[in-house]
Structure 1
Amino acid sequence: MNSQKPVTRIQKRNRATIRDAALDVFSQHGFRGATLDQIAQAAGLSKPNLLYYFPSKEAIHVELLGHLMTDWLEPLRALNTQGDPIEEIVAYVMRKLDMAREMPRESRLFANEIVQGAPRIMDMITGDLRELVDEKAAVIRNWTQSGKIADVDPYHLIFSIWATTQHYADFDTQVRGILAPEGDDHFDDAREFLRHLFRAALTPANQHAAVSTNA
């Protein structure tokens, strides 16, 4: 018989408030630089009240990373093996850029964890993430071997997509310092640039030649 009391609406709300506050703090200061006092203050709760919901800073961090990894992997899972290869890959690039725009705190949380050696998610990286990347890399390799896309290394293609999209979240201060954009206008420019970049990189050489001949 389950003796656990059901979670109340207030408890759910407080846990969500703590996670959101912790996301702010961790994304700014990293795990090592963040403190429970900072998280409690950002959440508008006392430290003892925070500890009622989460026993430690690490417990909050691990829960955030768990939610993040689920969201982070979804666009790659959505890569359709039956779709047009170039369109599928470019759509993945666009979704990753959208995530950088819409979820910058989550991106920085992940980046900070990786920079520290991924002590809390290494099992996820060498487990679910590697398994998914291996699966999609095999799909991309089949596309290259059948001549549907250019002969690219599938793993480095995926890494380059991560690098060119997550950069806009992880290095947001640098990007804004250089471009001085109006709001988020630079993301629209980035979409056009990355769409052109990856289409050009993925188009087979014989199709490039055909376009040049017909021009």
Structure 2
Amino acid sequence: MSSGRTRIQQKNREVILEAGLEAFSEAGFRGTTLDRIAKGAGLSKPNLLYYFPSKEAIHRELLSRQLDLWLAPLRTLDPDGDPLEELLGYVHRKLALSRDHPRESRLFANEVLQGAPHILDTLQQDLRALVEDAAGVIRGWIAAGRLAPIDPVHLIFSVWSLTQHYADFDVQVRAVLGDADPFPGAERHLDAVFRRLLMPDPEKACAEAAVG
């Protein structure tokens, strides 16, 4: 619990953030009003403003939480681990986030589609640095012949797009599949796609080892 807040105050903040997440993920920032968030939270607008001074403050808090959640799997890449399993694990964790937190994914997508007005600095600085660190690890694995040669940054982009699709375009996915849960099939498919993409050529690896 945050310092200086009572349990009730913390609970009300979480109720407001939940209502904000629901509203922003459906209507985007521009289409969401404080009145709608207050109604969703079951609070009066003045009561809501006691906890958050503006719609922007609620939105920023949600985006900050989303970035922490969304980037956590990328931070777990272990340079000393098995490269293929590390990257496939990353794919699976990202897909699980789309399954378990679809509203958060749509919140982030809406922000980016609007030009990322609230988080552009974070994307240009913190996200860029994190991606470059992860790309450095992947480059090391490629240089050691433990992965197929591939552009590491575009590999990360591909993981994002192929996993987040299932959250951001959930209606389209389910319209095509009907009542079937898309995630078991998606997990098998993406595992196969990235495994084939990343698997090093065994003959080439053996030849390079012999020359070395």
TM-score range, shorter chain: over 0.9
Alignment of structure 1 residues 64-213 onto 2, 5 Å: 64-182=62-180, 185-206=181-202
Q: Which runs of 5+ in 1 are unaligned?
A: 211-215
Give distance in 1, aligned partners of 2:115 and 2:109. 10
Query: Per-residue CA shift, 1:147-202, capped at 9, x if unaligned?
Result: 100000000000000000000000000000111133xx210000000000000000
What percentage of aligned pairs have identical amino acids?
A: 57
- Checking the alignment, whether the CA contact within 8 Å between 2:142 and 2:148 is kept in structure 1 is yes
**Structure 1 residue matching 2:30: 3-state secondary structure:** helix
**Structure 2 residue matching 1:31: 3-state secondary structure:** coil
- Checking the alignment, whether the CA contact within 8 Å between 2:145 and 2:205 is kept in structure 1 is no
> How high is the TM-score relative to the length of structure 2?
0.93
Q: CA deviation at 1:206?
A: 2.9
Residue type of the partner of 1:103? H
Q: Which runs of 5+ in 2 are unaligned?
A: 207-212
Alignment of structure 1 residues 8-87 onto 2, 5 Å: 8-87=6-85
Count of aligned residue pairs for this structure pair: 204
Give distance in 2, aligned partners of 1:81 and 1:133. 14
Deviant stretches of 4+, over 2 Å: 205-210
Q: CA deviation at 1:142?
A: 1.2
**Structure 2 residue matching 1:181: 3-state secondary structure:** coil
> How high is the TM-score relative to the length of structure 1?
0.92
Query: Per-residue CA shift, 1:60-97, capped at 9, x if unaligned?
Result: 00011111111111100001110000000000000000
Q: CA deviation at 1:8?
A: 1.2
Give distance in 2, aligned partners of 1:181 and 1:164. 21
Q: CA deviation at 1:21?
A: 0.6
RMSD: 1.6
Q: CA deviation at 1:207?
A: 5.6
Residue type of the partner of 2:91? V
Which range moves more in the overlay, 154-163 or 173-182? 173-182
Give distance in 1, aligned partners of 2:18 and 2:184. 27
- Checking the alignment, whether the CA contact within 8 Å between 2:38 and 2:48 is kept in structure 1 is yes
Give distance in 2, aligned partners of 1:14 and 1:26. 18
Give distance in 2, aligned partners of 1:207 and 1:114. 43
Give 1:213's aligned residue. Answer: none
